[in-house]
Amino acid sequence: MNLTFFLPTRLILDENCVSKNAAKFTECGKKAMIVTGKNSAKASGALDDVVAVLEQGRTEWILFDKIENNPSMETVEEAGKIAKAEGVDFVIGIGGGSPIDAAKAIAVLAANDMKTTDLFLNQFTKALKILAVPTTAGTGSEATPYSVLLRKDLQTKMGFGNPLTFPVYAFLDAKYTVSLSKNFTISTAVDAFTHCLEGYMANRSTIMSDAIALSAIEAFGRAIPALGRDTLTLKERELLLYISMIGGVTIAQTGVTAPHGLGYCYTYFKDVPHGVANGYFMREYLKLHEEVRKDKVASALAALGYTTIDAFADALDTLIGPAPALTAEEVEEYTKLSLLQKGSLSNTPYPMTEDSVHSLWTKMARL
């Protein structure tokens, strides 16, 4: 057996976990920078809860609330300069993946004298402590070291992350996710599920990551009926938060595979939300893997509570709808672009050659 499992984050999933763990905030330092987007940290009540524990512990804090969806390098650079000038010694990201990813970048920039573009070299050896309070249930960023930033200079998104950019604490409280819309809840839940399923199939999967991923695959099967309804109970929201967190725990060990690499084309060219784009591939992805991961496909289906791939994929379709039809030209273009996604393709057990990627896009296109 060849097994490595590294997770330095203390994950705390509980009702009112922020106020119940006030001492954990104060132990992190004397002055915090809270990093958020424009509205949701306030609207969800998470910001008030965090400020209350900081005030109670007489911890100084400043707020940086300008993180965009898909945080840019320019914005984290600005926040990093402020954090340094203000002598901040820890960073709290509150929000979806965007503010949490931004908090990771700010924690590195504030602790080092470095160019922002050098983040992507992953060679930094210092970072401020990072705390994460998710208000979405999808990316699992609270349990990964990854930070994905928008590089306007290169017209793409780029990620970095090393062991220092795992949050030290993640506080997961489902009440912060109650205000998410139905569509956003579905697309992010499907993203979280695909992290678990792809991590389960991945070449880099281990006996230990498999056990963890399978527990969340099973939970997703139970969540499907709730996702079809207009409102979810707090317990159901908590289950989604669990799936998201486990998705992060899983991909931090295993990485992602072909759907994440290929789904980018739907998002970029057809404006399809990231989770939905990955979800479109599930039927064909599972069918391909019946050839090379027969046992795992069977275990995943059993955990989900379905007897056939088509029955599961049909249930998923009722949540996310069918993939858009594509033209023959689009199939050629998407194939070419997909082949650039070397990391996720080489981590996919079914060989992702030019021919198999082309054939997968041809099936997806319904030509």
- The residues binding ligand NAP (CB under 6 A) are 37-41, 44, 69-70, 95-98, 101, 135-136, 138-141, 144, 146-148, 157, 176-177, 179-180, 188, 248
Q: Which is nearer to Fe ion, 124 or 280 (CB)?
A: 280
Nearest approach, Cβ of residue 253 and Fe ion (Å) = 15
Q: Minimum distance from CB of 195 to Fe ion (Å)?
A: 6
By beta-carbon proximity to ligand NAP, the closer residue of 179 and 327 is: 179
Q: Which residues pair with 32 in a beta bridge?
A: 61, 90
What is the residue whose two structure tokens read 């992190």?
Answer: 28
The minimum distance between CB 347 and ligand NAP, in angstroms, equals 15
Residue 275 is given by DSSP the state H
Q: How many residues bind Fe ion (CB under 5 A)?
A: 1
Residue 157 C-beta: closest distance to ligand NAP, Å: 6
> Choosing among ligand NAP, Fe ion, none, which partner's interface includes residue 279 (Cβ < 5 to 8 Å by kind)?
none
Pairing of strands 169-172, 129-134: parallel
What do you get for the CA distance between the two ends of the chain, in Å?
44
CB of 191 to Fe ion, least distance (A): 4
Q: Is 189 helix (H, G, I), strand (E, B) or coil?
A: helix
DSSP-assigned beta bridge partners for residue 60 = 31
Instruction: Quote the least distance from Cβ 20 to ligand NAP, whole Å.
Output: 20
Nearer of residues 173 and 191 to Fe ion, judged by Cβ:
191
Closest CB to Fe ion: residue number: 191
Q: Which is nearer to ligand NAP, 69 or 308 (CB)?
A: 69
To the nearest whole angstrom, how small is the minimum distance from the Cβ of residue 144 to ligand NAP? 4
- Report CA-CA distances (Å) from 314 to 86, 193, 306: 53, 16, 11
Segment contacting Fe ion by CB under 5 A, of 119-127, 189-197, 223-231, 280-288: 189-197
What lies within 8 Å, CB to CB, of 359 at 6+ separation is none
Piece in contact with Fe ion (CB under 5 A), picked from 50-58, 118-126, 176-184, 187-195: 187-195
The residue range among 78-86, 160-168, 191-199, 205-213 that interacts with Fe ion, by the rule CB under 5 A, is 191-199
- C-alpha distances in Å from residue 286, one per residue of 201, 210, 310: 9, 16, 9
Cβ within 8 Å of residue 39, ≥6 positions away: none
User: What angle, rounded to 10 degrees, do the helices at 282-292 and 258-270 form?
Assistant: 160
Among Fe ion, ligand NAP, none, partner that 148 touches (CB below 5 to 8 angstroms by kind): ligand NAP
Based on CB atoms, which residue is closest to ligand NAP, 25 or 264?
264
CA distance 5 to 7: 7
Q: Which does 156 bind (CB under 5 to 8 A by kind): Fe ion, ligand NAP, none?
A: none
Q: Between 245 and 331, whose beta carbon lies closer to ligand NAP?
A: 245
Q: Which residue has the tokens 């017209």?
A: 155
Q: Which does 344 bind (CB under 5 to 8 A by kind): ligand NAP, Fe ion, none?
A: none
Helices (DSSP H) in the chain: which residue ranges? 17-20, 22-26, 40-43, 46-56, 73-85, 97-111, 182-201, 207-227, 234-254, 258-270, 274-280, 282-292, 294-304, 309-320, 328-338, 342-346, 354-365
Beta bridge partners of 34: 63, 92
When asked if residue 191 is in the footprint of Fe ion (CB under 5 A), the reply is yes
Residue 308 binding: pick among ligand NAP, Fe ion, none (C-beta 5-8 Å cut-off by kind) = none
Residue 19 or 362: the one with the smaller Cβ distance to ligand NAP is: 19
198 binds Fe ion (CB under 5 A): no
> Which CB atom, from 144 or from 335, has the smaller least distance to Fe ion?
144
Q: Are 12 and 172 in contact (CB under 8 A)?
A: yes
Chain positions contacting Fe ion, by CB under 5 A = 191
